[in-house]
Amino acid sequence: MDSEKPIGLVLLNMGGPDSLEAVEPFLYNLFSDRDLIQLPLGALLQKPFARMISHFRAKHVAENYRNIGGASPLLHWTGRQAEGIARELGEAFRPYVAMRYWHPTAEETLRRMAADGIERAVVVSMYPHYTGATTGSSVKDFRRTASRVYPELTFSVVEQWYDWPAYLDALAHQVNEGLNQFHELMRDGVQIFFSAHALPQKFIDRGDPYLEHVMETVRGVMERVGERPWHIGFQSRSGPVKWMEPGTEEVLDQLASDGHEAVLMVPISFVSDHIETLQEIDVEYRDHAHGRGIRSFGRSPSLNDHPLFISAMADLVRSNLEDGA
């Protein structure tokens, strides 16, 4: 850390379309990734299937992006996070972002790092909970691309941080901020509902630790928030495969059936606002909840570039460096 050479800080994330015209090619890139989605009939037909599915889904997905401003805010927030963490770490660090399914790609970022004279870097997955479908795919892509584009780069990778204490502190703070949205007379009855992105059940069955990591995060957050009723569900399920259960809609239905009228949604596997928070939770699940009789529906603020989260991630990087990375 005392070298005169700058140290790269690279945040890996999924990426999202930066315009409505980018929706279909973004979906094609996503559906082409066999680490994330294994379409039937094998690898040879993955790309033809991806082209067909992305074409047919693009119109509906583009309308969702239109509803949130016409583009994904994920690059904006991931860039802000990279800049904030690098600022906390000190002048020696240079921030970068590499997206899996849209720009800037790992190749674009690595070429920029080479041009900037970066010889050493810390690469951080912005998915707190490990699964081969997200962190695994992004890290594999970065390693593969680095070996081809910039083999001289020395880097370490932080793949998971689901139980990092300062991250749990920051998330618990956001949960309390969310609870404060409700009138004090009804706050004790608010049901805290953690919603994580679903995976096909076969990922869990093969030993993927994602569910275990998510549950550890929830337990760590609730230890900090205090004794309150909480629930967990899994969102963004689509297609004919068997998904993790229960689904977010099913949990909302059960809460309504049990007579609960106030729910706080907590997006647990996302660290910044994007389509799953701004459209799926804030619009679709809100409307679903209201339609079932849940009168008060709120969401805890996303971590985005909150100072507690930025500080937590800077400490995580320092710990990685101190461990001899």
Active site residue 101: yes
88 in a domain, yes or no? yes
CA pair distance 98, 188, nearest whole angstrom: 42
192, 280: one domain: yes
Regarding whether 53 and 80 lie in a shared domain, the answer is: no
Catalytic residue, candidates 276, 303, 306, 313:
276
pLDDT < 50 stretches in the chain: 1-2, 325
Which token pair is 307?
A: 């100072």
What's the pTM?
0.95
Rounded to whole angstroms, the Cα distance separating 177 from 167 reads 15
Pick the catalytic residue: 94, 100, 173, 237?
Answer: 100
> Which residue in 9, 11, 12, 14 is the catalytic one?
14
**Residue 2: per-residue pLDDT:** 45
Strand pairing category for 230-235 and 191-197: parallel
Which of 96, 101, 150, 210 is labelled catalytic?
A: 101
Give the residue among 60, 82, 78, 107 at the shortest CA–CA distance from 16.
Answer: 78
18, 280, 282, 305: the active-site residue: 280
What is the pLDDT at residue 324?
61
Predicted local confidence at residue 1, as pLDDT: 45
Count of domains observed in the chain: 3
Structural domain of 57: 20-67
Cβ burial, residue 47 (10 Å; 0-12/13-18/19+):
middle
Q: Assess contact for 132 and 19: CB atoms under 8 A.
A: no
Distance CA 120, CA 267 (A): 33
Structure token digits, residue 88 = 């906390």
How far apart CA 176 and CA 298 sit, in angstroms, is 12
Q: CA 141, CA 143: separation in Å to the nearest integer?
A: 6
| Residue of 94, 129, 173, 197 marked catalytic | 197
Q: What is the CATH number of the domain that holds 178?
A: 3.40.50.1400
pLDDT for the residue 240: 74
User: d(Cα 246, Cα 157) in Å, to the nearest integer?
Assistant: 32
Choosing from 24, 33, 273, 282, which is the catalytic residue? 273
Answer yes or no: do 11 and 147 share one domain: yes
Report pLDDT for 226.
96
Structure tokens at 117: 């004279």
* Closest of 272, 299, 271 to residue 285, by C-alpha: 299
14 catalytically annotated: yes
User: Would residue 50 count as lying in a domain?
Assistant: yes
Residue 206 falls inside a structural domain: yes
C-beta separation of 166 from 220 below 8 A? no
Q: Is position 100 annotated as part of the catalytic site? A: yes
Same domain, 153 and 54: no
The contacts of residue 94 (CB under 8 Å, 6+ apart) are 6, 7, 8, 9, 86, 113, 116, 118
Query: What CA–CA distances, in Å, run from 143 to 6, 61, 149, 150, 152?
Result: 20, 30, 10, 10, 12
User: Does residue 169 carry a catalytic annotation?
Assistant: no
Residue finishing a domain among 137, 160, 183: 160
For residue 213, indicate whether it is catalytic: no
Same domain as 211, residue 84: no
Q: Active site includes 280? A: yes
Q: Mapping DSSP to helix (H, G, I), strand (E, B) and coil, where does residue 218 land?
A: helix
- Given 11, 27, 36, 89, which residue is catalytic? 36
Q: DSSP labels for 237-255?
A: --SSS-B-SSBHHHHHHHH
9, 27, 30, 75: the catalytic one is 30
Q: Is residue 305 situated within a structural domain?
A: no
